[in-house]
Amino acid sequence: MTTAPSLQRSDIAVEGMTCAACANRIQRSLTKLDGVSEARVNFANGRATVVHDPSVADDQLRIAIERLGYEAPISSDHDEAEQRREADLRRRWIVAIVLGVPVVALSMVPPLQFDGWEWVVAVLATPIVFWCGWGFHRAAWMNLRHGTTTMDTLVSMGTLSAWIWSTVVLVGSIGDDTTDGESGMAGMAMGGDGLHIYYETGAVIITLILIGKWLEIRAKRRSGDAIRALADLGVKTARLEDGTDVPVDALTPGTRFVVRPGEKIATDGRVVDGHSAIDASMVTGEPVPVEVAPGDDVIGATVNTNGSLVVEATRVGSDTALAQIIRLVDEAQGSRAEVQRLADRVAAVFVPVAIGIALLTLLAWLAITGDADEAFTAAVAVLIIACPCALGLATPLGIMVGTGRAAQLGVIIKGGEVLEDTRRIDSIVLDKTGTVTEGRMALVEVVVPDGDPDELLRLAAAVEARSEHPIAQTIAAASPSASPPSVDGFVNRPGIGVSAAVDGVEVRVGRRRLFDTVPANVLAAAASAESQGRTVVFAGRGATAEAVLVVADTVKPTSAEAIAAFHDLGLEVTLLTGDNARTARAVGGAVGVDHVIAEVLPDGKAAEITRLQAAGRRVAMVGDGINDAPALAQADLGIAVGTGADVAIEASDLTIVSGDLRAAADAIALARRTLSTIKGNLFWAFAYNAAAIPLAAFGLLDPMIAAGAMGLSSLFVVTNSLRLRRFRGYRASGSAPASRPSPTTSIRNLETIS
């Protein structure tokens, strides 16, 4: 978000929000304040971001939030607050289940009923309705104060009406023996006037919806994990040239510090002494370490692999590349519009309509019959029938079964909001390294125009085994010899290569300039490999290069099938990578993507996602690295490969546990199926209410029949949700379905962003 120089930004913690409607209410109120230019309230991370004139103090913003009935503490650990709320919800639904099981059993199983069982049910149901359901009643009161209604309103009114009516009927039956010998059916006891009690209705509704809220907050609590994981990547201390360790916060531009082999670089800087190879994959996604020498720039939190360096700090604190990545993830998560729960969206219309019908029923019966008892009975019946019994199962059960099946398939779905995102996705963007490819270097070819490849590889591997360089270790691991030969006189020339005597013969391995003579056929082999974006290492005996060792990141064997599956789902596929264009072109052509965008760093990746979104595309992003985290957060649907970095996983909406890209297609297909199932559940749950409410309003619906119909509605929701357990996915058949031919791959290179 861009702000004018005269404006400032404040982040205010907000506690007490129960749904997306709360966030919208706070946002509207803050926007109306004088001096406020822009306000965004994120329900997921519990924070209000306000752009305002400096004359508007943060305390004024907090007061405006607190006037709405929410809390805005000066200092708040949001994660700790969410943990407390999760624990509170868990405690309440456990109590509700413990007390609710005997309530339902006594109400619905006539053989268990004894004299006075109604009073036992009343005693057990009361703490469920009032203590366990307190959050719904509080939210309903707050909504009433602001003239709005949500599902909390209907839950509160319905359960309180059921409890109040049941209590009035039960207390009114004292001394009335007209119910002797009669048993309730489907949870309804008969009062002395032939009226019914509905204690179990409130108990069941409260319990089911509490469980749904608990599942929701468990997923929502992970929204801040990406930021915390990124912050943990940074270095806490730096070692100065005199050997003194100082906090990283004490570094200023121009300060020089030492980085030993295996250590992380403390902050962004420029090498002033030493040679080494830097593992910068967290930023670039490129698995090949980058050779650095005096004058080269390095990025903080990247790893120095094999040489000692003296680095002069150039950017510190919030100006570093890591800090910028953290900011990008934070802003992308905060700017994303929250998807309101499906039930709440329907309830925005259904709830006020149901309440209105109940009031009209009361007034109509009073006007027509003049009988207050009949009028109240009919009005309460409308509210009770409108209570979302099946609705309480519709969303959470669909999510539980869908996410449970997803877990069996190696897919983690983070919350119900993710499901709706998958429905509108029309484009998918793939990271290359570790997503489409294996993400690790391997020796893929040994080219020896004139000689024995195995012998040259044996000699080269023996020398490389003495080096700590990652590429050297890759070559050493590919040695065809079970017993390594003797190596003497090992010499390491930083940035150039290594040499040693192997079995008395001088062997050199490294860059071209390490050799005095490079034959034309060896040069041609190297050029051919480099044209495919592969890394080339020369090897030879003495001063003449005899072989080309080709190192590359290989394409996963299932990636092409995954691309075909994405096409089958109607998705346009783009390969987005920080790697060079030649490598990207070769990989994209091999797997059949539609477009390739290469040489893009983290902020560029997020910008590309934004560009596609601005063009009207709904974008999914699949990645595995730290460098992918901002793009995953910015995308409409972020999909992380579970074999990659934790930061990428936490910034995503879906996680595929394995490295098989086909699982991403399974994840999208299953998420869409789960959403469809939930919408079917909601339709039938509301259809029951829509059909039953008019009958209740006209006094034509027998309560026992209504209870039976409610039970059938719930049963349908259960069985419909359980159908998700039969989902198989693309991997079940071992291949993707036949898809349309992939269009000619377009290639676009972006300028590397430093």
Mean pLDDT (whole number) for 83-93? 86
The per-residue DSSP string of 104-148 comes to HHHHH-GGG--TTHHHHHHHHHHHIIIIITHHHHHHHHHHHHTT-
Task: Evaluate if residue 544 carries a pLDDT over 50.
Answer: yes
Mean pLDDT, the chain, whole residue set = 78
Mean pLDDT of 523-528: 90
Closest-CA residue to 139 (of 97, 89, 199, 73) = 89
Catalytic residue at 431? yes
What strand order describes the sheet that includes 276-279?
290-292, 276-279, 303-304
- Which tens digit of pLDDT belongs to each residue from 679-732? 888 787 777 777 778 888 887 765 445 545 655 666 677 788 888 888 888 877
**pLDDT at 605 > cutoff 60:** yes
- Greatest mean pLDDT among 357-366, 388-397, 404-413, 744-753: 357-366
- Give pLDDT, residue 318: 76
Q: State the Cα angle at 629 between 627 and 634, rounded to 5°.
A: 125
Poorest-pLDDT segment among 83-87, 617-621, 734-738: 734-738
pLDDT for the residue numbered 130:
94
> Two tokens at 230?
């990124």
- Enumerate the H helices of 234-341 as residue ranges: 281-284, 321-335
Longest CA pairwise span in the chain (Å): 115
User: What is the model's pLDDT at position 335?
Assistant: 43
pLDDT at 180: 42
Is the pLDDT score of 123 beyond 90?
A: yes
Distance of alpha carbon 505 from alpha carbon 450, whole angstroms: 18
Q: What is the mean pLDDT of residues 462-480?
A: 86
CA dist., res. 611 & res. 595, Å (int): 14
Q: Is 383 left (phi over 0), alpha (psi -120 to 50) or beta?
A: alpha
User: Quick check: 737 and 730 in contact, CB under 8 A?
Assistant: yes
Least confident of 168-182, 272-286, 462-476: 168-182
- pLDDT tens digits along 435-458: 888 877 788 889 998 888 988 999
Tell me the C-alpha to C-alpha distance, in Å, between residue 260 and each of 308, 340, 393, 490: 5, 50, 58, 21
Mean pLDDT of 367-392: 71
Say yes or no to pLDDT of 753 above 50: no
Nearest-angstrom CA–CA distance, 40 and 26 = 9
The number of CA neighbours under 13 Å toward the Cβ of 701 is: 27
Token couple for 266: 């403390």
Q: Which pLDDT band, with edges at 50, 70 and 90, does 345 fall under?
A: low
In terms of pLDDT, which residue wins out, 259 or 301? 259
CA 204/CA 163 separation, integer angstroms: 12
Mean pLDDT of 143-157: 75
Section 612-623 average pLDDT = 90
Q: What is the 3-state secondary structure (H, E, C) of 510-544?
A: ECHHHCCECCHHHHHHHHHHHHCCCEEEEEEECCE
Residue pair 195/377 in contact by the 8 Å Cβ criterion: yes
- Residue 2: pLDDT band (50, 70, 90) is very low
Give the mean model confidence (pLDDT) for residues 221-246.
Answer: 73
| For range 405-418, the mean pLDDT | 71
Select from 304, 343, 289, 299 the least CA-distant residue to 325.
Answer: 299
> In this predicted model, what pLDDT tens digit does every residue of 26-69 receive, in sequence order?
888 888 888 888 888 876 567 788 888 888 888 888 888 888 87
Q: In the predicted model, what is the mean pLDDT of residues 233-259? A: 88
Confidence category of residue 567, pLDDT binned at 50, 70, 90: very high
**Mind spelling out the 3-state secondary structure of 168-193?**
HHHHHCCCCCCCCCCCCECCECECCC
Label the pairing between strands 637-641 and 654-656.
Answer: parallel
More confident residue, 499 or 722: 499
The amino acid that residue 407 corresponds to is A
Give me the pLDDT at residue 702, please.
Answer: 52
| pLDDT confidence of residue 75 | 61
Which amino acid is present at 9?
Answer: R
In a 3-state reduction of DSSP, which class is residue 542? coil
pLDDT of the residue at 742? 36
What percentage of residues in the chain have a pLDDT greater than 70?
Answer: 76
Rounded to an integer, what distance in angstroms lies between the CA atom of residue 610 and that of residue 629? 14
Residue 258 confidence class, pLDDT cut points 50, 70, 90: very high
pLDDT of residue 65: 87
pLDDT at residue 475 tops 80: yes
The answer to pTM > 0.85 is no
pLDDT value of residue 619: 92
**Which H or E run includes 423?**
helix 417-424
How far apart (Å, rounded) are the C-alpha atoms in residues 56 and 466? 64
pLDDT digits (tens, 9 = 90+) for 318-330: 788 777 766 655 5
Give the model confidence (pLDDT) of 572-604 as tens digits. 999 988 777 777 888 888 889 999 988 787 678
Judged by average pLDDT, the poorest of 65-79, 175-189, 411-425, 483-497 is 175-189
Q: Which of 152, 268, 421, 431 is catalytic?
A: 431
Residue 319 or residue 521, greater confidence? 521
**C-alpha span between 454 and 118 (Å, rounded):** 87
Which pLDDT score, from 0 to 100, does residue 327 have? 64
* Residue 734 predicted with pLDDT over 80: no
Number of alpha carbons in the 13 Å side-chain half-sphere of residue 42: 21
What average pLDDT does this structure show over 484-498?
Answer: 86
pLDDT band at 752 (very low <50, low <70, confident <90, very high): very low
pLDDT band at 186 (very low <50, low <70, confident <90, very high): very low
